[in-house]
Structure 1
């Protein structure tokens, strides 16, 4: 979780989300015309591109729609099916929001009251025996919901998160009516989701604080509840591009007297730009905290409690959204979080994670306690009697509950919502202090999960390709039914069965004619990069979308090897800070990949060697944070950790908004298995960036990327080549030269003159410290990429604090006089291999090193895959 506290406008957030949303289908079913509701345009299913449905069914046109409907215009039509029907969406691989909209109606001899049907996406069952009228009636008749003044529900919307496999490139929604009945659908949304909106691990409820792995790559997720706590409802138009609906929490709270509403008194900000899609700022601007009469609350031992109807026999991911709106010091508000009478966190302190007042954060918990017959989930926050030295107050800004699929099933049996108007004695006791029973059972469960995970992980064997003949090759993508695979031949010409690799096709399949048209028949003027693999051309596909077209050279065995590696990795990876693969071409023995075009080229081109405007210090920090996020995802977010092995400024590309993305995975390697610390491999990389520890031992680790990234950091601040043989001997190697000045505490002596003091000295000092840590001679002494990312976000926070201080002062006050009460940087655990930067660690000496002979001249241009210049 980030700590830079950047304040993003809703317009900018929407722009970021639209950039990352590869697919955005808003389908109005049962019509061929478009409909505009608010700021959203819905396209009729009969005329929508990249959407097909079969059979045609019966279009229904309704004369009247209740004004309480979220999208009244969309609900005036529907499509009815009396037999099994499919809607097929051509989409890019990755996780998507799927929203199904239903509006009750009577049309001709079809009455929605008698409609019963099921809905699937592939093998995943979303809904079973659904009767829309009953679903709506259950919620409206819930005693708690109606007694709390809940608005009348007139339509049903079901929201799911579906992961589209790389091999399919399509999402198929199947409607299956019960015998003698019919299915219907009013509207469908299919929208690409941000890659990391769901965590890879979360806190397991009911155990001592411990993380539980959470692999949702092949799972379906259903949104059960999404609440704006302490505030009014948030409409889809107000949700910054993701179009979610946030209900008021008061319809689910057990007693309004236990908590009071509060609002912020100044601007709320995100911890990190990437948090902007987690929830809109308006959710964090309001909250519910315990009643002001704390003594009474403590004496009565009452928590703030919410109850929710859920389906039994499923696991749930519960996301709490927090923003401290009152206190400004750590320890002033510490409270417990409880789910279903189990402790999720006994001593939660918002400020300890956010580091500042009015700073938005969130925390995820996995609940596995919803067994048979348990159809109500209790969420509670409140004081912990064992805590001292705090006000024992509690606060919550937002809440989301997600159901996780089990065995390709998300469809719970129809269950009437349970009210809490007259809870039993047991339920009343649950609203008092929760007991922490079940800790032993939780620990056993965690152990079982870890054991099974280790067995599965260790049981996987990664096939290794064997180099093909050169020159020339067969296309890597060979059709085999609906899958794509390729086999490569051993150097002796025999086919090695062990070398067969299954490559999941990702993205669109282009014809060779498409590629020639896009690149103007490979016009030389469109070349934007040349390397060992071949050339990269700027192209343009339909609708004027710019792309980067990489055409491999069949004469280059080196290029083919890198090409194969990139195909294998990009078939598994998708992240906002990794360059995305759009499609491929496999015709006429061509090896062509099509990537998103990065309009602002390489980071290096903006630092030196061009006439481009210089980057500001804040821009440089944002770019470094983006690149660090991409590398951190490679190391920890992928199924198996991946080491980039060629981190440098020419492989950090910038899009039209200067969002940094890592590129060039040709040299990448999968990380070591759980029982190993490194990967033994021949040394590869770029001079000037190469890890000396890796060079000496030929043992590759994630810390090798950290070293290279440390060189990038110094390159960013100094804006000069990493190797320049024309300079005096002590200045040739940037890493050694910068370390010399950093260890003297005088990095500003060699800073890029174009920055000209337009930076906070405090942020520069911390920047130098983390770069110094990255360049530790022994890899074990370097921080992890996660730690580097945390520090960079903190550095950005320092710079922004200085900017705000200067702006408020409206004078010539030096940037070094920024607030002294900023949160101290955290320390790493005592046993951690990587020690984080601390306030009192400024002058740690690190042995200078020589990485090897230089192959770059002063004017030499470094290699990049997707942009100019030429050469490696």
Structure 2
């Protein structure tokens, strides 16, 4: 709700706000507080009590709370606890009683928009019984970092954040104090306390490069930095009912995902010790990552995870293991490295856990200096042992930061004075996460789950319990064998009662696919995605093909995989990648595409040793990609929005003809009576349309924005997001647009283009890219207009090239002058060489 001016003035004073939970001697196991409301809500069977609610376990002082804090409302689709929150401009204390012991404390944050506050300017400290948890904390800054990590792992971006700490409370009382910085404010949506066993972090721990030490958590707190389910999918809190933890996927933190193959168990798993039941859920130990191709490179490569951490702290590294293959000791021995130092050698999971399928964990303690902000975890072969297998295995990974000098908070180089409205546009745009993002995310997730469950049920009924685990090709009815099932194509109905579409391409057998890929040889892998791997293969007629194989035991990327099937069944264009055929035997789901010999556009711009593309070729590639997108937008009744336009999805054939690929995120455009498609935010960080990000309203202009980023990437030849660069250069779109608006784009272009381009063509190119990146979609050109102007830019460059060629020839000066004059007259009369009407762009 809105705050009146009187309430705003009151917020400038220090506020002490107490919640007393429980008054008896019995210690509470779980405390769940829904901030800023008097309502009690149920989430996954757990009851969250509003901090304004009256009841035996909850009292409020001073009263009324509305006089001292602002109550937020909205975003309930993210979850009931994010439907309200409490804003404070003065001090705010929550006091819990009856909570002696060891607890996980989770602070829930979701930015909101209020008339009197800008979440981008929120900065505050948080302490717990005097222990500094957060300092000069900015929720928006942390969400930005978190979303970059989620993007790398292939997960959806998030509009809320949970900070987790581990506390040992010895006084039967916990006081959590929120302290806004002077002139700023803070906010909180939910507080969660979950009791843990006192043995969860206890006993002697191995110190990397030193002797074992006793881990005394009672004298210091910890912050959860990472909790990863290695080799498996995301584990939600409801799947970890003891402590309600979240386990993220690990792929985004691996330096080379191909170094480790995913595996899973085929039998029941038990804990190695009865005290380990709360260390991690069994789901963590049912999947793992093992080394790939452990016989190559003289057995010197490792599986590596790179994790960003705060410098100047000690870190607890907890590794989770479960031997899933070998039934005897000394069959899998490997080494463990932490920050390039040996933490353990001759590590035998079977021997340490006491058998196969026994869940086991190992802790290590390592100190990170003030000059280091990265924690490297590596597992590799130990060739010095006599083990029959020298590959490594890991099931789970946790990283905890230990307090130092009474503090867990780390400020680093962040300057709060700069965290104002003058911040970069990307951070300002993230305010929209709280203002408008959340309402559709959960709804879209629920609808997707219901839809997939319905299709799965339908598939089970149709196959009479004898079908593969999932069959998206068959469900869509989009592909039938032209040689063997011609009669079916004419009149057979699929399981939904509709007549199946005409077949597109050949139905391959698994044997043919295995022959084409040399039995899925890892050396043939040319790409990896959430669905699985892409192989280079040669089919029986000698044609090269790209073979996309969905992981048969994983549901990750299934929705995107099915979307791509649906789109490819109705799309045919010279500048769209075509599909040759498919395979759906033996629980396999494989698509076969035309092979693009020159790979991705990005590989020719930077990050490889390929020769640079000329300016002419770059323009031709951009024009080809624009033609493909223009066809998507206009070739169907409602058009198709690609939703993931980027240089890695623009492929080049042997003649450098550009073709759009990867339609897994594509959406059919809005109906005539609508202006947009309301959908959850998906795409790639750095290319996302900020208007789509704020409103969850997808339009064709969202593709135009992403294509504008591609144009700047083409001319600058650098990554769209590069955190290693100075702050003002991290985001390519922001950096390039600043130079373009100064009409100085040539200052930052790829140095390899110097002297090889027409200045006039570069000027027009920059203007097109600038208009594509307009803040509002209505101010951006259509893809058809972008295509027209790119063709005009190419004409300018070709005219410049012809003029230069004439000047460098050995023709007589007078003849050269006459020829040049004639060409100039012809160009001036040709409408293609006239400046375009500015109104046509807008």
Q: Normalised by the shorter chain, which TM-score bucket?
A: 0.3 to 0.5
User: Which structure has more RCO (C-alpha within 8 Å, separation ≥ 6)?
Assistant: 1
Larger Rg: 2
